[in-house]
Structure 1
Amino acid sequence: MNVQSPVRALTDEQIAFYRENGYLMVENAVTPAELDAMRKVTYDLIDRSRAVTVSDDVFDLDEGHSAENPRLTRIKLPHKQHPIYWDTLVGSRITEVLKALLGPNVALSTAKLNTKAPGGGAAVEWHQDWAFYPHTNDDLLAVGLMLEDVDEANGPLQVIPGSHRGPVLPHTNADGVFCGAVDPDHPDFHHDKAVTLTGKAGSMTVHHVRMLHGSAPNVSDRARLILFYECLAADAWPLVGGASYYQRLPQRELWEDLHKRMICGQPTTEPRLVANPVRVPLPPAPDAGSIFKTQKTGGARSVFGSKGGSSGGMMG
């Protein structure tokens, strides 16, 4: 009897491309049924934001938000707002892609659902996620699952290929305060080499934690909904001073929390140490309550013009 081998999540060519370039586009990362279910929950959450007048623990509001015209920049921690986001992460092709790139033991760092509103939804200034939360090794990445079609008009993710193998650029303002974005005039910021990542709903991007990336405002008449999962190999542990919340938990809570965040495999108590360039994100911006406030109060300079200079955040 012939036994068929299981379908691989990624080919050797795709894995090699990611290693070399620091990003990857994966089509059909979830099934149509999974996609439809997540979209329904997402639009229900957006509808719920009509009753919210200031940003809270669930919603980051964009300028012009109202009950009649809900405008969000982000739904915070979506996997804690509804189980479908966690269930899809651990029960879809996404898990297999993570195993192929990070190994058998993978944990979730955090998640966010960036919901760029039509007609000027906030830009995300260029940055490296590694600047926000350096770890003992850089086997970390972000998955960006497209819940609606993403084209060049509605603020797609942009990346600079190979930048994950380069330096960690300063993410500070003229006074040396962490502002969560790189200086557009820095000599190692090669904006002219940027690649735009567009795709159909159900596709996903993957980008390395040290990849330079950003995204322009949404100038279309359609929302840009991308669900971001920030994931890491279980043996990558956060450095003190970074933005990872779990390093501030008491020991017992930390251990319990780590088990809850395992996407696949098991946690470890043996961090793997790799020599990588590191900048600790200190001193903090005047208001570091969110990434949006960090960039705004930190005075981040915009690559995208005045619309992009007042807000932004990690993960496109």
Structure 2
Amino acid sequence: MIRSEIARGVAMTTASAPTITQEQVDFYHENGFLLIPNLLPDDVLQALRDETDRIVAEAAGLTEHNAQYDLEDSHTAEEPRVRRLKSPSTHWPFFRELAQHPVLMEVVTALIGPNVRLQNDKLNMKAAEYGAPVEWHQDWPFYPHTNDDLVAAGILLDDCYAINGPLLVVPGSHKRKIYDHHHPEGRYFTGAVEPDEFDWDMEKDLVALEGPAGSVSFHHVRTMHGSALNRSEIQRRLLLFGYAAADSWPIMGLGPQTLEQYWSFMCAGEPVEQPRQTEVPAYLPLPASPKQGSIYENQKTVKNRFFDTYEDRRKG
């Protein structure tokens, strides 16, 4: 169980946690996503913003990516531009505590069961006017498991609407095939689906997960999603906690973690030592992308991009 760390004086409890309805659970399983407006309590949201601002300010002296920060291509030491905080729950106790907040656990356990482990986390930042896009992809090929009871919870730190690059999803795509995320010629993993593989209607089939700050989206690990360049004057920050049912074990192994460390990321319920295996197709993220460090670096190797980048915009 993640240890209790009350960060910066904000108790991670709520007097009246909202209840997710069976209708919402059914909607998620049918469509592969769910958005709950204003789910995070206001005081916790403000604490999250304050902690994020503090951490980003500490990146001012950096000149390159490291284990904590992924930087925009336009980053300078004088004008720090952080694109992502990597695995914040590993580096800053605040995020460990937030990952098991009661309002999040109430929803997540309703969607994937009572025993929940934090699989991954990141805080993606689309800064005003240059925040990087994320190409279309499914999370599943990055970390296939023995079953697909995995869900990503996305906390909006800022109001998010069409103008500042909301997360876009394809409803029902979690029930379709696992798309190939490899370069069509080099056959290495790029973390993105080539546009000529798209089999959905870009005009009709997309849903933008928009809402006020404090809203939380939930999307299935196989749901197709992406987001465009932020062209607006409003930043868009999204904290993503990826949760797995405890009986869903990573096919690629535990990596550098010990088993004790692996189970230390339990957020609800108890560890499950017997993996549950289901008939779910999977691609492996191998051979690895020539560019490592984050999905942004992986996707620089894609053959054909769908979304415009900041450099594309500058070139006109």
TM-score (norm 1): 0.89
User: CA 1:187–1:127 in structure 2 vs 1: closer, same or farther (change >3 Å)?
Assistant: closer
- Superposed displacement of residue 300, structure 1: 4.3
Aligned to 1:141: 151
Which residue of structure 2 lines up, in the alignment, with residue 151 of structure 1? 161
- SS of the residue corresponding to residue 141 of structure 1 reads strand
Give CA-to-partner distance per residue, 1:207-248, whole Å, 9 cap, x none.
0000000000111112211100011000001113xxxxx622
SS at match of 1:248: coil
Q: For 1:300 and 1:92, how far apart are their aligned partners in 2?
A: 42
Partner of 1:191 in structure 2? 202
Does the aligned pair in 1 maintain the 2:118–2:243 contact within 8 Å? yes
Is the partner of 2:123 in helix, strand or coil? strand
Matched, 1:299 2:299: no
Query: Which 10-residue stretch deviates more, 271-280 or 72-81?
Result: 72-81
In structure 2, the residue matched to 1:277 is 281
Change over 3 Å in CA distance of 1:87–1:308 after alignment to 2: farther
1:167 paired residue among 177, 188, 192: 177
The 1-side partners of 2:158 and 2:191 are apart by 27
Q: State the secondary structure of the residue aligned to 1:54.
A: coil
Contact 1:57 1:76 in 2 (8 A): yes
- Distance in 1 (CA, whole Å) between partners of 2:233 and 2:156 is 17
User: Aligned equivalents of 1:292 and 1:79: distance in 2?
Assistant: 20
The unaligned stretches of length 5 or more in structure 2 are: 1-15
1:254 to 258, 273, 280: 258
RMSD after superposition: 1.9
How far does the alpha carbon of each residue in 1:73-103 deviate from its partner, in whole angstroms, 9 at most, with x for none?
1011111232222212213300111111111
- The alpha-carbon deviation at position 191 of structure 1 amounts to 3.0
Question: 1:167-189: per-residue Cα shift (whole Å, max 9, x none)?
Answer: 01111112222111001111534
Structure 1 unaligned runs (5+)? 1-5, 241-245, 310-316
1:84 to 94, 105, 111: 94
Q: CA deviation at 1:13?
A: 0.6
Separation in 1 of the partners of 2:78 and 2:17?
47
Aligned residues: 296
8 Å CA contact 1:9–1:100 kept in 2: the answer is no
2:118 to 108, 115, 125: 108
Structure-1 separation of matches of 2:292 and 2:64:
17
Q: 2:188 aligns with which of 164, 177, 183?
A: 177
In 2, distance between residues paired with 1:275 and 1:204?
30
TM-score (norm 2): 0.89
Please name the residue that 2:21 is paired with.
11
- Using the TM superposition, name which of 225-234 and 258-267 deviates more: 258-267
Is the 1:29–1:92 Cα contact (8 Å) retained in structure 2?
Answer: no
Indicate yes or no: 2:46 matched with 1:39: no
